[in-house]
Amino acid sequence: MQAFRENNSEHDVVLEYLEAGGTGEEILLLLGNENRSIEDISVIFNVLQCIFIRIVTDLSSYLPDAEETSKCLLQSHTTTFHRLLGGSSYSAKKAALKLLTVMSTLSAKVAKYILTYLKLNFNLTFKLAKEENQNSTRRHFIHFVLSFLIEGSSSVIKLMLDKTGLLKSIFPGLVYDSAETIELVLMTIKKYVLENPAISKTTKLHVFNSTTLRILFELFNWRGRHKPVKKKFWKNSSEGATNE
């Protein structure tokens, strides 16, 4: 664990670990202690993220192990994810979201595991999507949500869109985001949802209801990244997204 944390550029720690027979499931054993602190769990999640990123990038022969590790993690430690995502620690929420994001890119199978096992309720998704200060989780949450679309599998996209409010939760406050974030969101939903023939017209109409369209029209008033002026905006937008 110390070697991963130090991230010595002279050594390919991830490759050395995997070639020595190390597995992700061995690292999961470290989560078995119920008394683990949030800080320790965050470190473990960051290590898993490093391993999965390398596997996605150029170590695809280890993909089966990564898929099995992801399945075990989601089956046995969903409460740990909720503990981090629902807590007050920015670094912990960031660690959980970044790990989930890279996991969703491993394969369609893992993306489906996440959508099946991880129960993100309405209040939690909108809390993660809110932009309140410089330590906001919003950017990381947006990347997490969009990763299911970018994964490209129609079955994954359909499953994600069936999760009421998950995609729509990132729309409120979009007018306050950076130009890069807005472009990423718009181009992604255009390519993988609106122009996707595998997604039914009914589903598209459900996602892009009147509340969503009002929020998107507000982007014409974008004047650069700035802070939301009223929390009431989030409340009204979130209520509309769930009621329609």
Q: Select the more confidently predicted residue: 33 or 109.
A: 109
- Quote the CA–CA distance of 200 and 85 in Å, as a whole number: 32
Specify whether 58 is located in the same domain as 90. yes
- Does pLDDT of 243 surpass 80? no
Kindly state whether residue 171 falls inside one of the protein's structural domains.
yes
Does residue 145 contact residue 97 with C-beta atoms inside 8 Å? Answer: no
Residue 128 domain-assigned (yes or no)? no
Q: Which of 119, 149, 173 is the last residue of a domain?
A: 119
Q: What is the pLDDT of residue 228?
A: 59
Residue 232 belongs to a domain: yes
Pair (12, 47) in one structural domain = yes
Residue 129 falls inside a structural domain? no
State how many domains the chain has: 2
Q: Are residues 168 and 59 in the same domain?
A: no
pLDDT tens digits, 62-77: 999 999 999 999 999 9
More confident position, 68 or 223: 68
Name the CA radius of gyration of the chain, rounded. Answer: 19
Q: How does residue 232 score in pLDDT terms, banded at 50, 70 and 90?
A: very low
Q: Which two tokens stand for residue 57?
A: 């990038």
The answer on pLDDT for 198 being more than 60 is yes
Phi, psi at 50, each rounded to 5° = -60, -45
> pLDDT band for position 151 (50/70/90)?
confident
- The answer to whether the beta carbons of residues 217 and 147 sit under 8 Å apart is no
Closest Cα partner for 12 from 55, 66, 63? Answer: 55
Kindly state whether residues 7 and 41 are assigned to the same domain: yes
How many CA within 13 A on the CB side of residue 190?
Answer: 7
pLDDT at 185: 97
pLDDT of residue 80: 93
Its domain, for residue 111, covers 1-119
Are both 109 and 156 inside the same structural domain? no
Domain endpoint, select from 89, 119, 149: 119
